[in-house]
């Protein structure tokens, strides 16, 4: 069934894929566990790196599609999408005054691996979110060109340039909706599986160093909206928050959370998430439901 950008209808199953940069590799392991158990989406929504994972799985919602997604992550490691010496990154920043990496390597990777070009060609309805600069608001992409929409959702401020579409400029969707459970609910999903990067269940602590201030502030904002979405679930909607398997994930104030170019742990992160999500699903782990 081709995507229409509309609701799955009738309380279908939605996969919600959150943002989180390189930590988003965990979502591949969760997808593997879901498809192994015959759990298929009627709707996929994603933010930032979750938009990349989500678009690829919506294009091929099969175990083979998940295996190909794992291959894309291997290429992110080998092709150096965020490659470049400190000198070259500084040079890019001086030249552009807004960002340190070009978007073309990521565009090339998406163009090469996405088997379709538009939302309408997807096998499962898919939507992704970005932050509109001009309107200071979330914008959901539901139709038209797929690669540009995903790039807009992934345009991390300071790392990648804003994406301009139809005269409007967009930045990373994580600024407005990092784990978009509310969108899946609004589109009529009855069962929602949340695929996230593994930070939401760890308490924050007050910042003690300059770089921690912005990181903690952002983490408060993203967790607050996610918690509000869960608290406002309507009757009949069930949410399963899958575990990432990260027992010692960096906290929001940890400098390791800034190492966006470190793909060395991708394979292990995928495998840990696969094992943890599988155990959770097999054990019918706790779910959140509307009262």
3-state secondary structure of 17: strand
3-state secondary structure of 267: helix
Which neighbouring-strand residues pair with 141? 128
Token couple for 106: 């990521």
In sequence order, the 6+-apart residues with CB closer than 8 A to the CB of 231 are none
Q: Return per-residue pLDDT of the chain as tens, 291 residues.
A: 333 344 555 689 999 999 988 889 999 999 999 999 999 999 999 999 999 999 999 999 999 999 999 999 888 766 556 555 455 555 555 565 665 666 788 898 899 999 999 999 999 999 999 999 999 999 999 999 999 999 999 998 878 889 999 999 999 999 999 999 999 999 999 999 999 987 676 778 888 888 788 778 878 887 888 999 999 999 999 999 999 987 654 454 444 444 554 666 789 999 999 999 999 999 866 667 654
> pTM, whole model, 2 decimals?
0.86
How big is the CA angle at 44 (ends 41 and 49), to the nearest 5 degrees? Answer: 130
In sequence order, the 6+-apart residues with CB closer than 8 A to the CB of 128 are 45, 46, 47, 50, 51, 54, 55, 140, 141, 149, 150, 152, 153, 173
């Amino acid at each position: 069934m081709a995507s229409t950008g509309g609701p799955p209808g009738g309380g279908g199953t939605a996969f919600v894929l959150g943002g989180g940069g390189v930590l988003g590799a965990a979502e591949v392991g969760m997808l593997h566990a879901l498809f192994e158990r015959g759990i298929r989406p009627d709707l996929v929504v994603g933010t930032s790196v979750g938009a990349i994972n989500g678009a690829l799985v919506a294009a091929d919602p099969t175990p083979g599609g998940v295996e190909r997604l794992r291959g894309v992550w291997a290429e992110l490691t080998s092709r150096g999408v965020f490659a470049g010496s400190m000198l070259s990154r500084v040079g890019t920043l001086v030249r552009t005054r807004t960002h340190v990496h070009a978007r073309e390597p990521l565009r090339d990777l998406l163009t090469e691996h996405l088997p379709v070009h538009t939302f309408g060609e997807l096998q499962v309805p898919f939507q992704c979110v970005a932050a509109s600069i001009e309107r200071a608001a979330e914008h959901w992409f539901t139709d038209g060109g797929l690669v540009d929409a995903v790039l807009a959702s992934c345009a991390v401020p300071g790392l990648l340039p804003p994406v301009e579409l139809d005269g409007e400029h967009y930045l990373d969707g994580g600024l407005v909706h990092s784990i978009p459970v509310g969108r899946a609910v609004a589109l009529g999903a009855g069962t929602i599986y949340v695929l996230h990067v593994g930070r939401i269940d760890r308490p924050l602590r007050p910042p003690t160093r300059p770089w921690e201030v912005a990181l903690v502030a952002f983490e408060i904002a993203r967790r607050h909206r996610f918690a509000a979405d869960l608290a406002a679930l309507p009757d009949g909607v069930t949410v399963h928050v899958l575990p990432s398997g990260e027992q010692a994930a960096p906290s929001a104030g940890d400098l390791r959370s800034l190492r966006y170019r470190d793909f060395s742990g991708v394979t292990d992160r995928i495998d840990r998430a696969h094992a943890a999500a599988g155990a959770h699903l097999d054990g019918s782990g706790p779910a959140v439901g509307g009262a």
